[in-house]
Structure 1
Amino acid sequence: MTESIITFFHNPQSRSAGVRVLLEALGAPYEVRFIDFKAGANRTPEFLALNPLGKLPTIRHRDTVVTEQVAIFIYLADLFPAAGLAPALDDPRRGTYLRWIAFYGASFEPAVVDRATKRPEMEASTSAYGSYDAMLQTLVEQLGRGDYLLGERFSAADVLWGTALRWTTGFGIVPELPAIRAYIDRACAHPAFARAAELDAGLLAGAAGK
């Protein structure tokens, strides 16, 4: 049942890059629909019918369309339990796993975007993430508790965070603290990162040659 091919709407220069890594790590069957931003492919009526925000990542599996990075990670990792990248519902680590996936979308990304765009800080009591410093300190403390977010177990959460931290530190948006650098190196050493990078390089080269 899970062997139905996933349609993956993708541009490597977007947040869908992490989803490509996850698909490779899961060994999932998928086909890529390249979304050329320069050509406005994310603003066509066909794509907006799938994702009215015109955003990536977006996937379609059977008759279900899933948008939002966090939702896609949870959906895909649960769809392929044999890959072992998501704790089962009755696994004591399930709550921690969901916490850190949700923390990415609810706290980390809004805080990083606010910091990068130099938006004035809100009062911690009214901010969704408290403060940037508190958010970052909370993350760094968790990264110091083990090799991965679930300790010694690599999970889909590490694909999400490895991708995000590599990108944000690379652009200087997040400081490359020792704990963050060490975590990026561990998470991104998973073979799926190299496979996804190779595939994306070929995708971009092919698009440029058209």
Structure 2
Amino acid sequence: MTSVDKKPASFRVFKQDLNEETKQNFSKKGALAIDTEAMGLIHGRDRLCLVQICDDEDNVACIKIDQGQKSAPNLKELLENSCIEKVFHFARFDVAALASNLRISVNPIFCTKIASKIGRTYSPRHGLKEVILELVGVELDKQAQSSDWGRTEDLSEKQLAYAANDVRYLLSARNQLEKMLIREKRWELTQRCFQCIPVICDLDQMRFHNIFEH
């Protein structure tokens, strides 16, 4: 099992947006792991507070979003770049949060939670901690998950370590899930599910629920 205490190759914290250099470095990648932290789970009520990014070389950037902030141009350009796959765990929440708070239309999308549910049908456990433990061999510490991400002072070291670790292993998990889905002949179906995520996010933001049920 890999130690979760291993430090990332680089770790930077930005206020409001990525700088140009970091945006350009991330723009060279074919895939990026993305996560967000918010004050709660209801879009429009609970604001976005943090966006985390990690590339395949374990370079991590965290962008602290100010209260009332409505845009982040460099982040928007990066996340809307159609040449870069954005990898989330439970993309449904993060994609809607980015759209609702910063007017970012993320594309294309890979969701490790959806991929896990379609590929790992032998398990009822599809949370990030369980997926990363099985596929990557890292046990994540989730103690800082429910904390005040909107604090005006600097985030604590524990919060930043939690935020970084939530993206550092997503790309490895994504690659393992792709292999499994191709092997089980479920890859095409999974990709079609990813294409539905922006529509579901729009429905969530407008408070439509269970519209596909009888």
Shorter chain as denominator, the TM-score bin is: under 0.3
Could you state the TM-score of these two structures normalised by the residue count of structure 1?
A: 0.27
Structure with the larger RCO, 1 or 2 (CA within 8 Å, 6+ apart)? 2
Answer with 1 or 2: which has the greater Rg: 1
TM-score, normalising length: structure 2: 0.27
